[in-house]
C-alpha cells in the first residue's frame, strides 16, 4: 500500500516536471523571437527621418549612417508614412513588453521546476506512511493534487530526523519542504547554524548552538549529514553551504522549502553511510 502510494506520487512528479520543462522550452523559443524587436524600432526611425521623400502608397529602400547597406522596409500602401512608422513602433513596444513578461515567466517556471525536484528528493527518502501523507498534503496545499476526502485523519507528522555530533551537539534535519520551513524559520534560534547542499535539492539542517561557538568537527559532521540527506547522497566532494539561521530568509511568495541566505561559507564533503548512521539518534 505504502509503496503503491509512493509510486503514484513519483509518477505525478515526473509528469509535472515534464510539463513545466515543455512550457519553459516554448517560452524560451518565444523569447528568442523577440530579439528582432530593435529592427522594428529602427524601421520606424528610418521612416520618420525620410518623411520628406515619402508619399502614401510608396515602398522604399532607406538607410542611415548606422547601416552598411540600405534596408528595405515594407510600407502599407493604405497608410501614410507617419502611420507606417507608428505601426512599427507599436509592434516594437508589443515585443518589448512580451520579452519582459517572458523573462518573468521563464524565471517562475525554473523556480517551479526546482520546487518539484525538491519534493521528488523528499519523496525518494520517505519510508513511512506519515512522511508520504505530509508530502501529499504539501502538494495539495500548493494546488498540484486534490485534498483527499478521507474520513481517517492524517497520520501524525514525524518530528525532524535527529542526530548527535561527536561533540554532543543536537543536529536536526527536515523531512520535507514544509518541515524545512518550520525548522529553519520558526523552531531554530537565530544563533543556530543552518546548512544546505549548494545548488542541489536537499533537507535543511540545523545545529543547535545554545548561543555558543560550534566546534569545527560538529560543523563537518553536520555537512556530511546535509549531503547525505540530499540528492547528492551518492556523490563525492559535495559542496555544503553553512551560515547562521539569522542570515536565512524566505522571499515573499516563495514555495515551501525555498529560502535565500547570505554570509555563508562552504565545506566539501563526501557522504558516508556508516559515519552518518553512527550519529543518528
Question: Looking at the predicted structure, is the pLDDT value of residue 155 above 80?
Answer: no
Query: Which of 144-153, 232-241, 264-273 has the least mean pLDDT?
Result: 144-153
Q: What is the pTM of this model?
A: 0.82
Question: Looking at the predicted structure, is the pLDDT value of residue 65 above 50?
Answer: no
pLDDT in tens, 210-223: 889 999 999 999 99
Whole-number pLDDT of residue 156: 86
Whole-number pLDDT of residue 1: 76
Residue 39's pLDDT band, with cuts at 50, 70 and 90, is confident
Average pLDDT over residues 46-57: 80
Whole-number pLDDT of residue 22: 97
Question: Looking at the predicted structure, is the pLDDT value of residue 5 above 90?
Answer: no
DSSP symbols for the chain:
-HHHHHHHHHHHHHHHHHHHHHHHHHHHHHHHHGGGHHHHHHHHHHHHHTGGG--TT--EEE--TT-SS-EEE---TTS-HHHHHHHHHHHHHHHHHHHHHHHHHHHHHHHHHHHHHHHHHHHHH--SHHHHHHHHHHHHHTTSSPPP--SSPPPPPPPPEEEE-TTS-EEEE-SSHHHHHHIIIIIS-TTSEEEEETTS-B--EEE--TTSPPPHHHHHHHHHHHHHTBTTTT-SSEEEEEEEGGGEE--TTPPTT--EE-S-EEEEE---HHHHHHHB-
Question: Looking at the predicted structure, is the pLDDT value of residue 150 above 80?
Answer: no
pLDDT in tens, 81-128: 899 999 999 999 998 999 999 999 999 999 999 999 999 999 999 999
Residue 66's pLDDT band, with cuts at 50, 70 and 90, is low
Amino acid at each position: 500500500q505504502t509503496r503503491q502510494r509512493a509510486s503514484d506520487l513519483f509518477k505525478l512528479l515526473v509528469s509535472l516536471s515534464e510539463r513545466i520543462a515543455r512550457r519553459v522550452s516554448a517560452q524560451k523559443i518565444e523569447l528568442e523571437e523577440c530579439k528582432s524587436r530593435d529592427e522594428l524600432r529602427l524601421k520606424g526611425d528610418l521612416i520618420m527621418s525620410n518623411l520628406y521623400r515619402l508619399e502614401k502608397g510608396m515602398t522604399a529602400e532607406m538607410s542611415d549612417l548606422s547601416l552598411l547597406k540600405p534596408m528595405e522596409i515594407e510600407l502599407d500602401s493604405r497608410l501614410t508614412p507617419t502611420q507606417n512608422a507608428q505601426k512599427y513602433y507599436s509592434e516594437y513596444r508589443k515585443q518589448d513588453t512580451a520579452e519582459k513578461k517572458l523573462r518573468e515567466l521563464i524565471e517562475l517556471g525554473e523556480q517551479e521546476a526546482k520546487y518539484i525536484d525538491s519534493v521528488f528528493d523528499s519523496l525518494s527518502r520517505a519510508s513511512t506512511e506519515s512522511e508520504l501523507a505530509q508530502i501529499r498534503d504539501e502538494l495539495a496545499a500548493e494546488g498540484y493534487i486534490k485534498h483527499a476526502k478521507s474520513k481517517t485523519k492524517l497520520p501524525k507528522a514525524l518530528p525532524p530526523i535527529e542526530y548527535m555530533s561527536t561533540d554532543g551537539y543536537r543536529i536536526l534535519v527536515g523531512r520535507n519542504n514544509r518541515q524545512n520551513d518550520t525548522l529553519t524559520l520558526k523552531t531554530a534560534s537565530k544563533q543556530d547554524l543552518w546548512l544546505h547542499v549548494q545548488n542541489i535539492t536537499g533537507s535543511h539542517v540545523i545545529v543547535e548552538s545554545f548561543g555558543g561557538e560550534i566546534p569545527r568537527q560538529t560543523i563537518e559532521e553536520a555537512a556530511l549529514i546535509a549531503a547525505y540527506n540530499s540528492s547528492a547522497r551518492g556523490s563525492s566532494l559535495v559542496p555544503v553551504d553553512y551560515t547562521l539561521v539569522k542570515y536565512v530568509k524566505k522571499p515573499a511568495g516563495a514555495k515551501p522549502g525555498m529560502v535565500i541566505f547570505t554570509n555563508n561559507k562552504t565545506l566539501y564533503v563526501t557522504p558516508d553511510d556508516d559515519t552518518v548512521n553512527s550519529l543518528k539518534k
